Copies of this chain bind each other. A is one copy, B any other.
């Protein structure tokens, strides 16, 4: 019988932060970075640990700024075109750019303005101003003046300025050393196929990657199994050798979660459980004088919690200001209801759809790594908030540059692997376009177009009555929106069968005697409509199909049921069969179109997409390589309104 760890509290975020700050103050964590001396040449990207002052002035002497002759400006006071002045050998001396101005001279006349009478005499027709074309000593910086303050991240130009002013060694701060310890007996190494219940351990790589980007020196440690003694030894050892220790639980199941117990034995647990979503079970503890942070096991929770608590600590340790995260205003495309009582961090996809930047909630699962790969930003719903209404302006913390978001085409709807082919072909060269693709089914795509969330939607909705694709659904749900329906492809649907097709299934007719089992899609799914039409065309009665009433909700669930042997076949697309290395028996062709609002048809990004579809031989070749497609109407407008 499972039991939740009864010690997990639900402390408000502000209170947790305050308690943690106080605990960090008690161990003098802030500004505790050590310093070390290194060569300026090695210092790119490092943080100054002491102010850097110029050792020489720059220029170190009065230097000619032009090729020409050095003169005394006073000698030329009366020079003019009408009455040029002649200078003799002692009154001028040739100089090249960068030369030290010989003693006593106080201006340079550039070579273009010098008329040589002979080698020893020149004639000049323009007066000179004091120090013209001369870089005077210390003009750029004077020795002893400040080049860089303490706490400055060193850029290439800073290295140049230091070297130019005679500084070759500087003091830098030592970044905090962090170890990330994965825990959990269920963890296996990447590259192994997980058995049911096993989890590939990749969190420590992601977490260390972010910590390094934030300026720490972080690395992942070997996983520790669910064994109290081993855990105790690992934490105790890591706390001695590091400035911060990160524990990353495997699955967060209470009975196996010893981290908080062990931390309470070894040191002090300051906070266990914060009212945030995702991330609630976070542990903040101090062992000796080392902060130890227990992150939740799910990757998305772990990353977001680490952003919340650890990012700031790295800058605090270095006594620096945390860089401000870029933010943008956007309009919510649909309402979000908050989980009252906790601060919630919502993954957001952004789309520059016409003049508006539209924010759409992306995947929700705490384990959904891809949702964070796809996410463009984060929306914070404060604990007291009731949520956000559709059309409301929100502030989004950006996870990728706004310019990248602005060169992104947002595709929401039914997914097809051809969209991935297009995404790759567009993501090239100096005008690279990114496709952000959310897979929510054809009806989901139609609703996304309605809400103005997407530039285009992939759809393959068959109207049982007319036998037509998509049009009647557009008329019903998108009547107000001028749009074009442009064909992308025809694709094979078929019966997904076990590897090698052991029952030799060749089509629905083989299911008519009820000996083989079938798994169906839910009512309303495009594939269900196609199944019903196919049965009708074959004059087969659904009542005779064994499993017709057994419904699954996705292509992949159908494929999985076949892969695990619980049924013999089910209707789906080739890609689903390929994904689980199953076999596929084509039974029908369906049309897959793109719904594109009229107003985006002259968007250069969309024009590039359509140009590819219509004109690229490479596109056609790549699609043919996939198999199961016909591009005979590709790029053709099937309907417009």
User: What 0/1 pattern do residues 132 to 167 of A give for CB contact below 8 A with B?
Assistant: 000111111111111111111001111111011110
A316 to B253, CA, bound (A): 50
Are A140 and B367 in contact (CB-based, < 8 A)? Answer: yes
A157: which B residues are within 8 A, CB to CB? 206, 303, 369, 372-373
A492 to B277, CA, bound (A): 61
Q: State which of B44, B163, B196, B256 has its C-beta within 8 Å of the C-beta of A190.
A: B163
Which of A156, A415, A417 has the most B CB atoms < 10 Å from its CB?
A: A156
Are B4 and A112 in contact (CB-based, < 8 A)? Answer: yes
Are A137 and B560 in contact (CB-based, < 8 A)? Answer: yes
A407 to B197, CA, bound (A): 50
Are B427 and A161 in contact (CB-based, < 8 A)? Answer: no
A321 to B169, CA, bound (A): 37
User: What 0/1 pattern do residues 576 to 598 of A give for CB contact below 8 A with B?
Assistant: 10111000000000000000000
A96: which B residues are within 8 A, CB to CB? 2, 251, 253, 255-256
Of A57-65, A387-395, A481-489, the stretch lying at the interface with chain B is A57-65
In the complex, the chain B residue whose C-beta lies closest to that of A576 is B142
Q: Closest CB-CB distance, A519 to chain B, in whole Å?
A: 12
Are A150 and B428 in contact (CB-based, < 8 A)? Answer: yes
A315 to B428, CA, bound (A): 10
A37 at the interface (CB under 8 A from B): no
Evaluate whether A152 and B365 lie within 8 angstroms (CB atoms) in the complex, with A146-B420, A168-B191, A420-B145 already known. Answer: no
Are B206 and A156 in contact (CB-based, < 8 A)? Answer: yes
Evaluate whether A429 and B30 lie within 8 angstroms (CB atoms) in the complex, with A209-B156, A423-B146 already known. Answer: yes
Are B150 and A424 in contact (CB-based, < 8 A)? Answer: yes
Are B31 and A149 in contact (CB-based, < 8 A)? Answer: no
A289 at the interface (CB under 8 A from B): no
Which residues between 535 and 563 of chain A lie within 8 Å of chain B, taking CB atoms? Answer: 553-557, 560
A65: which B residues are within 8 A, CB to CB? 365, 367
A323 at the interface (CB under 8 A from B): yes
Are A98 and B251 in contact (CB-based, < 8 A)? Answer: yes
A131 at the interface (CB under 8 A from B): yes
Are A58 and B556 in contact (CB-based, < 8 A)? Answer: no
Q: Closest CB-CB distance, A365 to chain B, in whole Å?
A: 6
Of A81-89, A430-438, A447-455, the stretch lying at the interface with chain B is A430-438
Are A160 and B202 in contact (CB-based, < 8 A)? Answer: yes
A51: which B residues are within 8 A, CB to CB? 420, 423-424
A1: which B residues are within 8 A, CB to CB? 94, 116, 119
Of A9-17, A99-107, A267-275, the stretch lying at the interface with chain B is A99-107
Are B580 and A143 in contact (CB-based, < 8 A)? Answer: yes
Are A168 and B190 in contact (CB-based, < 8 A)? Answer: yes
Q: Interface size for chain A: under 10, 10 to 19, 20 to 34, or 35 or more residues?
A: 35 or more
Are A202 and B159 in contact (CB-based, < 8 A)? Answer: yes
A466: which B residues are within 8 A, CB to CB? none
A196: which B residues are within 8 A, CB to CB? 61, 99-100
A53: which B residues are within 8 A, CB to CB? 420
A319 to B56, CA, bound (A): 44
In the complex, the chain B residue whose C-beta lies closest to that of A186 is B98
Q: State which of B30, B429, B556 has its C-beta within 8 Å of the C-beta of A138.
A: B556
A254 at the interface (CB under 8 A from B): yes
Q: Closest CB-CB distance, A438 to chain B, in whole Å?
A: 12
Are A579 and B136 in contact (CB-based, < 8 A)? Answer: no
Q: State which of B97, B112, B142, B193 has its C-beta within 8 Å of the C-beta of A252.
A: B97
Are A160 and B193 in contact (CB-based, < 8 A)? Answer: no
Are A140 and B579 in contact (CB-based, < 8 A)? Answer: no
User: What 0/1 pattern do residues 248 to 286 of A give for CB contact below 8 A with B?
Assistant: 001111111000000000000000000000000000000
A403 at the interface (CB under 8 A from B): yes
In the complex, the chain B residue whose C-beta lies closest to that of A252 is B97
A297: which B residues are within 8 A, CB to CB? 97-98
Evaluate whether A321 and B146 lie within 8 angstroms (CB atoms) in the complex, with A136-B554, A251-B96, A252-B97 already known. Answer: no
Q: State which of B94, B319, B401, B560 has its C-beta within 8 Å of the C-beta of A323.
A: B401
A163 to B40, CA, bound (A): 38
Q: State which of B3, B316, B365, B555 has its C-beta within 8 Å of the C-beta of A140.
A: B365
A203 at the interface (CB under 8 A from B): yes
A322 to B322, CA, bound (A): 27
Are B553 and A136 in contact (CB-based, < 8 A)? Answer: yes
A566 at the interface (CB under 8 A from B): yes
A372 to B155, CA, bound (A): 11
Are B578 and A144 in contact (CB-based, < 8 A)? Answer: yes
A557: which B residues are within 8 A, CB to CB? 62, 136-138
Are B4 and A370 in contact (CB-based, < 8 A)? Answer: no
In the complex, the chain B residue whose C-beta lies closest to that of A112 is B4
In the complex, the chain B residue whose C-beta lies closest to that of A406 is B324
A135 to B298, CA, bound (A): 12
Q: Closest CB-CB distance, A133 to chain B, in whole Å?
A: 11
Shortest beta-carbon contacts, A-B, top 9: A156-B209, A138-B556, A100-B196, A163-B202, A143-B579, A146-B420, A98-B251, A96-B253, A160-B206
Knowing that A138-B557, A146-B420 touch, tell me 10 more A-B residue pairs with CB under 8 angstroms: A130-B553, A142-B575, A144-B579, A145-B575, A156-B210, A160-B202, A161-B370, A168-B191, A316-B430, A321-B431
Give me 30 A-to-B residue pairs in the complex whose CB atoms sit less than 8 angstroms apart, sorted by A's number.
A31-B429, A41-B190, A51-B423, A56-B194, A57-B580, A59-B367, A62-B560, A67-B253, A67-B254, A103-B566, A104-B566, A138-B556, A140-B363, A140-B365, A144-B575, A145-B575, A146-B417, A146-B423, A149-B424, A151-B427, A156-B205, A157-B206, A163-B190, A164-B202, A164-B369, A168-B191, A320-B428, A321-B430, A321-B432, A323-B401
